Amino acid sequence: MSYAQTLGEIRTDLAMETHQLVAGTSGSSVPGVESYTEEKGTTKITRVIIQTPEASQALGKKPGYYVTVESPALRGRDKDELEEVAQVIAAELRTFISGFRLSDEASCLVVGLGNWNATPDALGPKVVEKILVTRHLFESAPPEKRGGLRPVCAVSPGVLGITGIETKEIVAGIVQRVKPAFLLVIDALASRSTERMGSTVQIANTGINPGSGVGNHRLGLTYESLGVPVIAVGVPTVVEARTIIHDALEQITSMGGPSMQAYRKEVIDRVLSPYFQDLIVTPKEIDVLINDIARALAGAINIALHPGVTAEEVFRYLE
Amino acid sequence: MSYAQTLGEIRTDLAMETHQLVAGTSGSSVPGVESYTEEKGTTKITRVIIQTPEASQALGKKPGYYVTVESPALRGRDKDELEEVAQVIAAELRTFISGFRLSDEASCLVVGLGNWNATPDALGPKVVEKILVTRHLFESAPPEKRGGLRPVCAVSPGVLGITGIETKEIVAGIVQRVKPAFLLVIDALASRSTERMGSTVQIANTGINPGSGVGNHRLGLTYESLGVPVIAVGVPTVVEARTIIHDALEQITSMGGPSMQAYRKEVIDRVLSPYFQDLIVTPKEIDVLINDIARALAGAINIALHPGVTAEEVFRYLE
Amino acid sequence: MSYAQTLGEIRTDLAMETHQLVAGTSGSSVPGVESYTEEKGTTKITRVIIQTPEASQALGKKPGYYVTVESPALRGRDKDELEEVAQVIAAELRTFISGFRLSDEASCLVVGLGNWNATPDALGPKVVEKILVTRHLFESAPPEKRGGLRPVCAVSPGVLGITGIETKEIVAGIVQRVKPAFLLVIDALASRSTERMGSTVQIANTGINPGSGVGNHRLGLTYESLGVPVIAVGVPTVVEARTIIHDALEQITSMGGPSMQAYRKEVIDRVLSPYFQDLIVTPKEIDVLINDIARALAGAINIALHPGVTAEEVFRYLE
Amino acid sequence: MSYAQTLGEIRTDLAMETHQLVAGTSGSSVPGVESYTEEKGTTKITRVIIQTPEASQALGKKPGYYVTVESPALRGRDKDELEEVAQVIAAELRTFISGFRLSDEASCLVVGLGNWNATPDALGPKVVEKILVTRHLFESAPPEKRGGLRPVCAVSPGVLGITGIETKEIVAGIVQRVKPAFLLVIDALASRSTERMGSTVQIANTGINPGSGVGNHRLGLTYESLGVPVIAVGVPTVVEARTIIHDALEQITSMGGPSMQAYRKEVIDRVLSPYFQDLIVTPKEIDVLINDIARALAGAINIALHPGVTAEEVFRYLE
């Protein structure tokens, strides 16, 4: 059964959620998908490998490797817990970097996707603000003189409605000039579950694909389109309002009630205003959530990118 | 039948919505409530007068006069349409001011409630930023030398979590020193309907009551608590997520399906994360909505407060 | 006599000021420089044409055409006066566009230089926020279906310290992908005179040259480096502190006192802290100045770029 | 010799600077003023006690105790150095609190003076944003249940041009309702020396007096006007432009040149535009300076106010 048929109005950018949904309906495991879960303290790591075109179609996600790190500490403010999760995320990021056979000196362009004028979509630009940028400091210095710092540069390209230019075009232009060894692209995501907002980081070796993200990217940022490896890092910051309603109707069945899915479309049409294209569910204090998660994620990225930087230093450093 | 029984999980700060809900279930009209509707162009005005303690209890709103002005132009950017709605709102505001027998020289303190660090709750402070403040300009000038400007001052007192002080205490302290003839208090509201977000202004002569507003005020700002008339001006900027789910289940019945209300509490518990106290539904571009409506509302208030200021001037003035 | 010898510690990005300074000392006119002044109401227009390499060296500015529009209305808030100056600036901009033989359909990339985290340097990014961006709206529409709108896109590339990438590289990358017919580049400038802060716009057909701007660009953005015409638009927002002191000492002589220039270097060293590389003089309300001038300049640019947009519409449009 | 005669155009809000200036001209020490200097590591502490009305008039400062803590670490980003200075400032603040015989349970209202829309004047509101506010958490808890936290509340009252109300009136109103045991009032100052910008904290037991601060307060916030002790904490963020010019002319004499003070007024009039009332000298990166110093100062205040909070915790806490 295909993703579209199964998922209906449920929108999620997390591979682990689409896998759960499809696996849930089709019995147990989806052919062509491998999935593992492990726990480190309060942190839960889920690895999903989509191996075949069939699995890719069934899940509606590109073939590739998706890691999800979940921990309530991410949206909390306990420094010790946060440092711990940041370490876990950094370790996963380093595995992705090694997976592309990139050395500690390989230069990285960090790209913060999303609209800085729309709070739930502003995660990428907020992370970029806190990235430890070093490329300009040692353009001519040999690696041994770089003090454990990788050459890193960072941009927030904005969104089509603000610039009049497809994000992909801006990034491709910069890649052509700067020639980074790889890209690390940050984006705000939509998940299925309100519980995962601000508490989950997905890392994928597939790049950013059309239709994904809170801002719904029209063109992809991938190895195929840019010519360099693209590691995608995303955090769910919203759940679409229609997903919530769909979910509510589905829950009735799972609680032993009748199926209400026949009413789905009409209920959604009646409850959600047609005026707004994108109604979303967020915490009331969305600004705080975005700022907290941006700080945590930037910390993890700074540790992962710069071999000479420790978690302690990152969170000691006064931004 | 009381408000609580009827409304269940549906939360709204709009008197016209609670009236519709209660009237809808109890047959036609609620005893002790008068309600009229009129249309001016694309603008719809609903007047609700809650006259008796019984009606007040049934609707869960204080006795008083509530006017709701609805127009999609409010969240649009067509200047001509916007000017028209602003005129309508200003005329209603002036009726409230006259209703308190306040002259054109009576001094006004505008209070912007809400948390400037939480986008959906930041409407009040954003409006206050755009109020034409004049009190300090002619403290000693006689009325005829004031060029058609009323003495107006304006503050945003912040919220309890930021200041450590109840909003009501800050406002009461300022009222005691400044001795304004009346207060105009702006607040972001929760409505039942996603369609009304950013397109509806409620004006009430009841002041601000405990439990109302996106920020859920703990203490009231009323004539009783402050000793001066308080005109409350609110705009719905969010719908609570639980309201959406409740509404979806209710719609099934209204579409001829079975009643699903028995499942309500459990569905809400399963779909909404317990982590977040307040999950809300907003447009993805909530920042733009808040800025647009703040500009429109501040324009209407500036016209209403200052007899010598015209709509044309207000919207010509470059803020 | 060369620019450096004459000007000493006086820093200015305005060609009209360097011309005045050099002309002032060398008698009357500088060979190879033509200069005209005209007045339109309260607006003063100065045209400087630097024609020869010698003149270029004497003035320390690239050969080319520099127009300066001066009017106190620019930093004021009188809408009628502002509209008038905006019209004058727009007319000059259109002359530059025609000068490059560019049609009304020729696509434009607007570039906002400067650091959005440093108020006096944030003019470019603030202007870009208010540009009427249209390129994405009619990528496939024929010119006659564009309603008098030119294809315009806009970016703020940030500064080296934020991105780790030379601004010029980012812009060159985008130009390569977007292939605009010309660039319009906005920047905050340093002038010699505190009176010109926020009241003067310089337009030049020379692009942006190394060492210019409040942010001191390291690489140029010019026809030579980018392959498309570059119209530079700048507004002085600061005067360097060392310029003020130099000027003070010079004034003594011009008032009939002895020359104090022998003391210059030591006085500057003693009065200005070595800690800060760049001490500047600005009005205390620098934020307001930047916002006001950004709005005025964006208005003028929107009128100039889009043949179908009038001044009235621009300043009516609610940003 | 009086302050006015001696100081001419030199404006400073630091008692140690006026004392130096007056003492410098009148020989050695000013009668009625005691002054001590001590050094702790890279930190220099100057204590000035103005004891008599005559000394007060000579220095143009109210009688009282003024402590100045100077350290370049304050505007730096080395966490260890910063923690050290913050400890020194906190210890001085605690001495002031004890000086008023206030216990660890005495409630404090922190007031952030200044205009949040003018970067150089925004220090007070920025500090207030970072104060650990606790008053609302244990209104009814007995002291032993407060975990080493003092009841602290905090407001930024805005400025007259924004609110239409004298700052003093807003603060007095809040004091009347909240009845704090003492006030701690933060403000941005003007100093004489560019070197002291962002590297100096002045603490005084005199409150805030008319004419002081970047924003030039019109009314005082003092024990006399409010009825509770007022500890004033200020940091120079600007030097007035006229002070720089005056200083430059004075330096010539101190370097063995002739006196240029006769030219002073006319030079200032010629060099500084009459359009701007307040031309100031700041670093180009004024926004960064304000943010850094706000974080350092808020840290010191949080340590000083809350007996159970350590420097390590304050700077570990992720703001």
Give DSSP secondary structure letters for D39-65.
EETTEEEEEEEE-SHHHHHHHTS-SEE
Residues whose CB falls within 8 Å of the CB of residue B294, separated by 6 or more in sequence, listed in order: B123, B126, B127, B129, B130
pLDDT of residue D13: 96
Residue B201 has pLDDT above 70, yes or no: yes
pLDDT class of C29 with cuts at 50, 70, 90? confident
**To the nearest whole percent, how much of chain A has pLDDT over 90?**
71
Interval A63-79 mean pLDDT: 91
In chain D, residues with a C-beta closer than 8 Å to the C-beta of B152 are 164
Where would I find the beta strands (DSSP E) of C71-199? 108-112, 152-155, 182-191
pLDDT class of A318 with cuts at 50, 70, 90? very low
Match 């969170």 to its residue by tokens.
Answer: A315
Calpha distance A74→A84 (Å, rounded):
10
Q: Are A207 and A185 in contact (CB under 8 A)?
A: yes
Residue D314 has pLDDT above 70, yes or no: yes
Calpha distance A83→A91 (Å, rounded):
12
pLDDT of residue B219: 92
- Tell me the domain boundaries of chain B: 3-317
Residue B116 has pLDDT above 70, yes or no: yes
Residue-wise pLDDT for C54-103, tens only, equals 999 999 999 999 999 999 999 887 888 888 999 999 999 999 999 999 99
Interval D279-303 mean pLDDT: 94
Tell if the CB–CB gap between D164 and B154 is shorter than 8 Å: yes
Helix (H), strand (E), coil (C) string for chain D: CCHHHHHCCCCCCCHHHHHHHHHHHCCCCCCCEEEEEEEECCEEEEEEEECCHHHHHHHCCCCEEEEEEECHHHHCCCHHHHHHHHHHHHHHHHHHHHHCCCCCCCCEEEEECCCCCCHHHCHHHHHHHCCCCCHHHCCCCCHHHCCCCCCEEEECCCCHHHHCCCHHHHHHHHHHHHCCCEEEEEEEEEECCHHHCCCEEEEECCCECCCCCCCCCCCCECHHHHCCCEEEEEEEEEEEHHHHHHHHHHHHHHCCCCCCHHHHHHHHHHHCCCCCCCEEEEECCHHHHHHHHHHHHHHHHHHHHCCCCCHHHHHHCCC
SS3 label, residue B309: coil
Shortest distance, CA C312 to any CA of chain B (angstroms): 10
Calpha distance D43→D25 (Å, rounded):
27
Residue-wise pLDDT for D108-162, tens only, equals 999 999 999 999 999 999 999 999 999 998 776 777 777 889 999 999 999 999 9
- Residue among D119, D238, D251 minimizing CB distance to C287: D119
pLDDT class of A1 with cuts at 50, 70, 90? very low
Q: Are C170 and C111 in contact (CB under 8 A)?
A: no
Mutation to test the C interface, candidates D116, D216, D281, most C Cβ within 10 Å: D281
- Segment 127-166 of chain C within 8 Å of chain D by CB: none
Residue B5 has pLDDT above 90, yes or no: no
Interval A70-79 mean pLDDT: 87
pLDDT of residue C76: 81
Calpha distance C114→C188 (Å, rounded):
7
Calpha distance B190→B209 (Å, rounded):
14
Residue B253 tokens read as 């019945």
Tell if the CB–CB gap between B245 and A241 is shorter than 8 Å: no
Q: What is the pTM of this model?
A: 0.94
pLDDT of residue C75: 85
In chain C, residues with a C-beta closer than 8 Å to the C-beta of B79 are 316-318
Calpha distance D243→C108 (Å, rounded):
45
Residue A231 tokens read as 């590691």
Task: Give per-residue burial for C142-167: e unless 16+ CB within 10 Å, then b.
Answer: eeeebeebbbbbbbbbbbbebbbbbb
CB of B266 within 8 Å of any CB in chain A?
yes
Match 């990152």 to its residue by tokens.
Answer: A314
Q: What is the mean pLDDT of chain D?
A: 91
Tell if the CB–CB gap between B284 and A279 is shorter than 8 Å: yes
Tell if the CB–CB gap between B288 and A117 is shorter than 8 Å: yes
Residue-wise pLDDT for D86-98, tens only, equals 999 999 999 999 9
pLDDT class of C128 with cuts at 50, 70, 90? very high
Residue-wise pLDDT for D7-53, tens only, equals 566 889 999 999 998 887 655 678 999 999 999 888 999 999 999 99
Most confidently modeled of A181-190, C244-253, D68-77, D237-246?
A181-190
Q: Which helix (DSSP H) or strand (DSSP E) does residue D36 occupy?
A: strand D33-40
Residue A78 tokens read as 């306990």
Residue-wise pLDDT for A28-69, tens only, equals 678 999 999 999 888 999 999 999 999 999 999 999 999 999
Tell if the CB–CB gap between A251 and B273 is shorter than 8 Å: no
Which amino acid does the sequence have at B88? Answer: V
pLDDT of residue D148: 86
Residue-wise pLDDT for D257-288, tens only, equals 899 888 888 999 899 988 777 899 999 999 99
Q: Are A149 and A319 in contact (CB under 8 A)?
A: no
Calpha distance B260→B252 (Å, rounded):
7
pLDDT class of D6 with cuts at 50, 70, 90? very low
Interval B275-288 mean pLDDT: 90
* C299 φ/ψ angles, rounded to the nearest 5 degrees: -60, -50
Residue A16: closest CA among A202, A186, A288, A259 = A202
Q: Which helix (DSSP H) or strand (DSSP E) does residue B85 occupy?
A: helix B79-99
Residues whose CB falls within 8 Å of the CB of residue C274, separated by 6 or more in sequence, listed in order: none
- Segment 11-30 of chain B within 8 Å of chain A by CB: none
CB contacts < 8 A (C, D): 147
Match 């200097």 to its residue by tokens.
Answer: D37
Tell if the CB–CB gap between D295 and A316 is shorter than 8 Å: no
Tell if the CB–CB gap between D119 and C121 is shorter than 8 Å: no
- Residue among A79, A292, A317 minimizing CB distance to D79: A317
CB of B169 within 8 Å of any CB in chain D?
yes
pLDDT of residue A274: 80
pLDDT class of B143 with cuts at 50, 70, 90? confident
Chains that touch A (3 or more CB pairs under 8 A): B, C, D
Least confident of B117-131, C14-28, C231-245, D166-180: C14-28
ipTM value: 0.93
Pairing of strands D108-112, D182-191: parallel
Shortest distance, CA C234 to any CA of chain B (angstroms): 22
CB of D317 within 8 Å of any CB in chain A?
yes
SS3 label, residue D261: helix
Tell if the CB–CB gap between B133 and D175 is shorter than 8 Å: no
Residue A42 tokens read as 């309060």
- Residue among B193, B245, B257 minimizing CB distance to A244: B245
Residue B317 has pLDDT above 60, yes or no: no
Q: Are B96 and B313 in contact (CB under 8 A)?
A: no
CB of C174 within 8 Å of any CB in chain A?
yes
Calpha distance D93→D186 (Å, rounded):
12
pLDDT of residue D5: 42
Residue B175 has pLDDT above 90, yes or no: yes
Tell if the CB–CB gap between C316 and B315 is shorter than 8 Å: yes
Calpha distance B242→B269 (Å, rounded):
9
More reliable by pLDDT, C143 or B111:
B111
Residue C245: closest CA among C279, C201, C222, C275 = C279
Burial class (CB in 10 A: 0-12, 13-18, 19+), B207: buried
Tell if the CB–CB gap between D315 and A315 is shorter than 8 Å: no
CB of B269 within 8 Å of any CB in chain D?
no
CA geometry: angle B315, B113, B285, nearest 5 deg: 60
Instruction: Give pairs for B37-45: CB < 8 Å, separation 24+.
Output: B40/B88, B41/B84, B42/B71, B42/B72, B42/B73, B42/B81, B43/B69, B43/B70, B43/B71, B43/B73, B43/B84, B43/B85, B43/B88, B44/B69, B44/B70, B44/B71, B45/B69, B45/B70, B45/B88, B45/B92
Residue-wise pLDDT for A260-302, tens only, equals 888 888 999 899 988 777 899 999 999 999 999 999 999 999 9
Calpha distance A243→A240 (Å, rounded):
5
Which amino acid does the sequence have at A261? Answer: Q
Residue A2 has pLDDT above 60, yes or no: no
Tell if the CB–CB gap between B287 and A119 is shorter than 8 Å: yes
Residue-wise pLDDT for A218-251, tens only, equals 899 999 999 999 999 999 999 999 999 998 998 8
In chain D, residues with a C-beta closer than 8 Å to the C-beta of C275 are 72, 75, 195, 199
Calpha distance D281→D300 (Å, rounded):
27
Residue-wise pLDDT for A87-122, tens only, equals 999 999 999 999 999 999 999 999 999 999 999 999
pLDDT of residue D239: 95
Least confident of A225-239, B103-117, C18-32: C18-32
Nearest CA in chain B to C299: B318
pLDDT of residue B8: 64
Residue C213: closest CA among C297, C140, C142, C280 = C280
Least confident of C149-163, C193-207, C267-281, C282-296: C267-281
Residue-wise pLDDT for C221-231, tens only, equals 999 999 999 99
How many Å from the N-terminal Cα to the C-terminal Cα in chain A? 49
- DSSP letters, A196-213, are GTTTEEEEETT-B-TT-T
Shortest distance, CA C135 to any CA of chain A (angstroms): 5
Please count the residues of chain B.
Answer: 319
Task: Give per-residue burial for A285-314: e unless 16+ CB within 10 Å, then b.
Answer: bbbbbbbbbbbbbbbbbbbbbbbebbbeeb
CB of A315 within 8 Å of any CB in chain D?
yes
In chain B, residues with a C-beta closer than 8 Å to the C-beta of A258 are 258
Pairing of strands B279-283, B200-204: unpaired
Strand partners, D154: D110
Shortest distance, CA B79 to any CA of chain C (angstroms): 7
Tell if the CB–CB gap between C133 and A164 is shorter than 8 Å: yes
The distance of Cα D137 from the centroid of its chain, to the nearest Å, equals 29
Nearest CA in chain B to C315: B316
CB contacts < 8 A (A, B): 147
Residue-wise pLDDT for B47-89, tens only, equals 999 999 999 999 999 999 999 999 999 988 788 888 899 999 9
Calpha distance C211→C187 (Å, rounded):
12
Mutation to test the A interface, candidates C140, C159, C170, most A Cβ within 10 Å: C170
CA geometry: angle B216, B221, B227, nearest 5 deg: 170
Calpha distance C203→C235 (Å, rounded):
9
pLDDT of residue B314: 76
Shortest distance, CA C20 to any CA of chain B (angstroms): 35
- CA dihedral for A93, A98, A103, A104, sign (positive or negative): positive
Residue-wise pLDDT for D174-190, tens only, equals 999 999 999 999 999 99
Tell if the CB–CB gap between C176 and A173 is shorter than 8 Å: yes
Q: What is the mean pLDDT of chain A?
A: 91
Domain topology for A3-317: Rossmann fold (3.40.50)
Shortest distance, CA A216 to any CA of chain C (angstroms): 16
Strand partners, A49: A34, A65
Residue A181 has pLDDT above 90, yes or no: yes
Shortest distance, CA B300 to any CA of chain C (angstroms): 14
Helices (H), A142-275: 160-163, 167-178, 223-226, 241-254, 264-271
Residue A100 tokens read as 């592309």
- Segment 62-91 of chain B within 8 Å of chain C by CB: 77, 79, 82
- Residue among A72, A248, A255 minimizing CB distance to B248: A248
Residue C205: closest CA among C183, C177, C188 = C183
Q: How many C-beta atoms lie closer than 10 Å to residue D230's C-beta?
A: 26
Pairing of strands D230-240, D182-191: parallel
Residues whose CB falls within 8 Å of the CB of residue C20, separated by 6 or more in sequence, listed in order: none
Residue C317 has pLDDT above 80, yes or no: no
Q: What is the mean pLDDT of chain C?
A: 91
In chain A, residues with a C-beta closer than 8 Å to the C-beta of C111 are none
